[in-house]
């Protein structure tokens, strides 16, 4: 099996829980068994060690309903010659596919929602979900589940459906 794919979240089931956020039981973040492979040489994990066991979803309060961001939610947009239609709601949305992660190369830059990307926060990027949205990501290989806040657009690489922050991956 291709080593690049093997070190990523190969297949996962993203159960979008915007309508169910009030009923979510947040889980703590366990350190990943393998360090994910960066998307590019510039997108590497942090040089200084960061204790990801300190990250806890217990600190995150999930609202029942989120107001759409004033920016980052156009009806449609084009990226790399492909047009994307932004959904009005994430209610009932499910998707199964490959996740990737993004890190240092984007750390400190503005996201599509206007928030500053922090690779140590539990966030993600999606091409069409309204910003912000909370989603539940399930790793089908190891059974781990994590709730992440979608606050950015991406990934714009064929075959990938969600980009997770370094901490989320």
Residue 34, domain CATH = 2.40.40.10
Structural domain harbouring 34 = 3-165
Q: pLDDT digit of tens for each residue in the chain (169 aa)?
A: 443 333 343 333 333 333 333 333 334 444 444 444 444 444 565 555 555 544 444 445 555 578 899 999 999 999 999 999 999 999 889 999 999 999 889 999 999 999 999 999 999 999 999 999 999 999 988 888 899 999 999 999 999 999 999 999 8
pLDDT of residue 4: 38
Question: Which residues lie below 8 Å from residue 23, measured CB to CB, with a gap of 6+?
Answer: none
pLDDT of residue 128: 98
Going 121 to 122 to 128 to 134, the CA torsion angle's sign is negative
Count of structural domains within the chain: 1
Q: How far apart (Å, rounded) are the C-alpha atoms in residues 128 and 114?
A: 16
Neighbours of 49 (CB within 10 A): 7
pLDDT of residue 103: 83
Q: ω before 164 within 30° of 0 (cis)? A: no
């Amino acid at each position: 099996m291709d080593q690049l794919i093997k070190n990523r979240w190969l297949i996962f089931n993203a159960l979008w829980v915007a309508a169910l956020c009030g009923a979510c039981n947040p889980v703590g973040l366990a350190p990943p068994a393998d360090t994910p492979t960066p998307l590019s040489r510039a997108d590497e994990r942090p040089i200084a060690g960061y204790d990801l066991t300190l990250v806890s979803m217990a600190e995150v309060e999930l609202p029942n309903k989120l107001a759409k961001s004033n920016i980052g939610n156009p009806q449609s947009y084009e990226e790399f010659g492909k047009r994307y239609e932004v959904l009005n709601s994430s209610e009932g949305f499910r998707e199964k596919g490959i996740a990737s992660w993004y890190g240092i190369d984007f750390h400190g830059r503005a996201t599509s929602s206007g928030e500053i990307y922090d690779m140590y926060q539990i966030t993600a990027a999606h091409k069409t979900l309204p910003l912000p949205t909370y989603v539940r990501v399930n790793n089908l290989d190891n059974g781990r589940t994590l709730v992440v806040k979608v606050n950015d657009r991406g990934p714009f690489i064929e075959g990938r459906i969600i980009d997770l922050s370094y901490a989320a991956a």
